[in-house]
C-alpha cells in the first residue's frame, strides 16, 4: 500500500537471528551458572564428608604427619635413611627412586627403540624380521606380566650369594641382585669433575660452531678428534696433577652374603628391564614412522652425492625425521614415568609403594597423601614435556637459522 514502510527481507532475517541468538546466549549463561552451582555443591559435600570421617577416626587434617617418625625400613635408598627418620624423608626416598627408574628407563628405551626402529627398515631380511617380531611380541604383552617375568622367571631363578655368577671377577650376579664395586671419592674428585664439565662445555660449543659453519658455508668441520682429546685429556691431566679422583671398594663374599661394594636390588633391575624393553617397542614404531615420513627424494639425493646408507641416515634422514619423532617420543617418556608406579607389584620402593602405600596405611592421611602423589606425577610430566618442547624449539630454530 502507498506510504507503508516495509522491512527488507535481509534486515528482517538479521533481526530474527539476533533475537534468537540473544535468547540462546541467555539460556547458555543460565546453564553454565547452574553447572557451576552443582560443582560447588558437590565440592562442599565431598569436603564436609571427608572432614566428618576424619573427625570420626580422630585423624588430624594437614601436613603435620610428615614430621612424625616413619618406623619402617626401605630396601633401597639413594640418600641416608633409617627407621627413625620422618615420613618426609620417606617421601624423598620414594621420589628419588621413582626418578632413578624413570631416567634410566627413558635412556635405555630410547637407545633400544632407535636400534630396533632402524632395524625394521634394514635391507637385511633377517634383521628386519627379528626387529618386527620384537615389536609385535613385546608391545602386545601386558607390562605387569613382563615385570613379573623378569623378576620371577629370570632374576628369581639365579643362584644364591655363594653360587654367584662372576663377571670377570668384578661384578657378581645372584638372586639378591647385582653386586658391583663402589666408587669412593678422593681428594682429586672435585678437580676431576670440573675438568669433565669444562671438556663437555667446550665440546658442545665446538659442535654448535661446526653446525653453523656447515649451514652457512657448506664446509664441514671435523669435531670428534678435538672432542675426544678434550674428554680424555682434561680429566687425565686433572688426575695426574690433582691425584686419583676416586678408588673402588671391591665386594667380598663373607659367609652367606657379600660385604662392600654396591648392590643393585633385583626389583630395580627387573623394573628397568621391563619398562625399557616395553617402551622401546613403541619408540621403534615412532622412529620407523618418522624415517618413512622423510621424502624418498632426500635419500636418492644423498645416494647421488655418493653418501653411504649409514651416512645418509645420520646426516640427512634422521635429523629431518626428528620433527615427526619428538612429539610422540615425549608421550612415551611420560607413559614410562607413570608406568613405573607398577613397581608396587614386586616391592620396589618407589613413590607409590612407600608413600602412597605404606605411609598411607600407617597414618590414614589419604587425602593429603593422594593429593601430594598426584601433584608430584603432574609436576614430573609437565617438566618432561617442557624440557622436550624446549629441546625441539632450539633444535629446529638453530637449523632454520
Q: Is residue 235 part of a domain?
A: no
The three three-digit cell numbers of residue 227, written as one number? 672432542
Q: Is residue 210 part of a domain?
A: no
- The answer to whether the beta carbons of residues 245 and 188 sit under 8 Å apart is yes
CA atoms of 297 and 281, how far apart (whole Å): 28
**For the chain, how many structural domains are there in total?**
1
343: helix, strand or coil: helix
Predicted pLDDT of residue 226: 84
Q: Which residues form the domain of 301?
A: 87-163+264-396
CA atoms of 375 and 378, how far apart (whole Å): 5
User: Over the stretch 163-205, which tens digit does the pLDDT of each residue have?
Assistant: 888 888 888 888 888 888 888 888 888 888 888 999 889 888 8
Quickly tell me which residue has 662392600 as its cell: 260
CA atoms of 52 and 58, how far apart (whole Å): 10
Predicted pLDDT of residue 12: 56
DSSP 8-state code for residue 152: I
Q: Is residue 8 part of a domain?
A: no
- The answer to whether the beta carbons of residues 345 and 147 sit under 8 Å apart is yes
Q: Is residue 353 part of a domain?
A: yes
Q: Is residue 23 part of a domain?
A: no
CA atoms of 301 and 316, how far apart (whole Å): 10
262: helix, strand or coil: strand
Low-confidence stretches of the chain (pLDDT beneath 70): 1-26, 57-61, 218, 398-401
Shortest CA distance to 298 belongs to which of 287, 309, 289?
309
Quickly tell me which residue has 549463561 as its cell: 29
Q: Is residue 133 part of a domain?
A: yes
Q: Is residue 12 part of a domain?
A: no
Q: Provide Rg for the chain, Cα atoms.
A: 30
Cβ partners under 8 Å of residue 244, min gap 6: 186, 188
4: helix, strand or coil: coil
CA atoms of 217 and 151, how far apart (whole Å): 55
Tell me how crowded residue 299 is: count the other CB atoms within 10 A of its CB. Answer: 17
CA atoms of 109 and 119, how far apart (whole Å): 15
Distance of CA 120 to the CA centre of its chain: 24
What would the DSSP string read from start to end of 184-240?
EE-TTHHHHHHHHHHHHHHHHHHHHHHHHHHHHHS-----HHHHHHHHHHHHHHHHH
φ/ψ of residue 77, rounded to 5: -145, 130
Geometric angle at alpha carbon 299, from 298 and 303, rounded to 5°? 120
Q: Is residue 372 part of a domain?
A: yes
Read off the CATH number of the domain in which 351 is found: 1.10.3720.10
Amino acid at each position: 500500500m502507498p506510504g507503508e514502510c516495509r522491512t527488507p527481507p535481509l534486515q528482517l532475517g538479521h533481526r530474527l537471528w539476533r533475537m534468537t541468538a540473544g535468547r540462546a546466549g541467555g539460556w547458555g549463561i543460565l546453564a553454565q551458572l547452574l553447572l557451576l552451582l552443582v560443582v560447588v555443591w558437590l565440592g562442599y559435600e565431598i569436603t564436609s564428608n571427608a572432614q566428618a570421617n576424619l573427625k570420626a577416626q580422630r585423624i588430624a587434617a594437614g601436613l603435620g604427619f610428615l614430621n612424625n617418625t616413619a618406623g619402617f625400613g626401605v630396601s633401597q635408598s639413594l640418600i641416608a635413611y633409617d627407621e627413625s627418620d620422618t615420613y618426609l624423608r620417606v617421601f624423598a626416598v620414594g621420589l628419588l627412586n621413582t626418578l632413578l627408574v624413570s631416567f634410566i628407563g627413558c635412556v635405555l628405551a630410547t637407545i633400544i627403540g632407535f636400534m630396533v626402529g632402524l632395524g625394521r627398515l634394514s635391507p637385511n631380511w633377517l634383521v628386519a624380521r627379528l626387529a618386527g617380531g620384537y615389536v609385535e611380541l613385546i608391545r602386545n604383552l601386558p607390562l605387569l606380566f613382563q615385570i613379573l617375568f623378569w623378576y620371577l622367571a629370570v632374576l628369581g631363578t639365579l643362584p644364591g650369594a655363594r653360587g654367584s655368577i662372576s663377571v670377570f671377577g668384578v661384578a657378581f650376579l645372584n638372586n639378591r641382585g647385582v653386586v658391583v664395586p663402589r666408587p669412593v671419592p678422593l681428594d682429586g674428585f672435585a678437580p676431576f669433575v670440573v675438568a669433565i664439565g669444562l671438556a663437555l662445555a667446550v665440546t658442545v660449543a665446538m659442535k654448535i660452531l661446526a653446525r653453523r659453519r656447515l649451514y652457512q658455508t657448506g664446509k664441514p668441520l671435523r669435531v670428534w678428534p678435538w672432542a675426544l682429546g678434550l674428554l680424555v685429556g682434561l680429566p687425565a691431566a686433572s688426575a695426574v696433577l690433582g691425584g686419583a679422583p676416586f678408588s673402588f671398594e671391591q665386594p667380598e663374599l663373607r659367609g652367606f652374603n657379600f660385604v662392600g661394594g654396591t648392590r643393585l636390588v633385583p626389583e630395580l633391575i627387573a623394573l628397568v628391564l621391563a619398562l625399557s624393553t616395553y617402551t622401546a617397542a613403541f619408540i621403534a614404531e615412532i622412529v620407523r614412522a618418522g624415517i618413512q615420513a622423510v621424502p624418498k627424494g632426500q635419500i636418492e639425493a644423498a645416494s647421488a652425492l655418493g653418501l653411504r646408507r649409514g651416512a645418509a641416515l645420520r646426516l640427512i634422514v634422521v635429523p629431518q625425521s626428528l620433527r615427526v619423532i619428538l612429539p610422540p617420543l615425549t608421550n612415551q617418556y611420560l607413559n614410562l614415568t607413570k608406568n613405573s608406579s607398577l613397581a608396587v607389584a614386586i616391592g620396589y620402593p618407589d613413590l607409590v609403594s612407600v608413600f602412597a602405600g605404606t605411609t598411607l596405611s600407617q597414618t590414614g592421611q589419604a587425602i593429603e597423601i593422594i593429593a601430594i602423589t598426584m601433584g608430584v606425577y603432574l609436576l614430573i610430566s609437565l617438566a618432561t614435556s617442557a624440557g622436550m618442547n624446549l629441546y625441539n624449539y632450539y633444535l629446529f630454530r638453530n637449523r632454520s637459522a
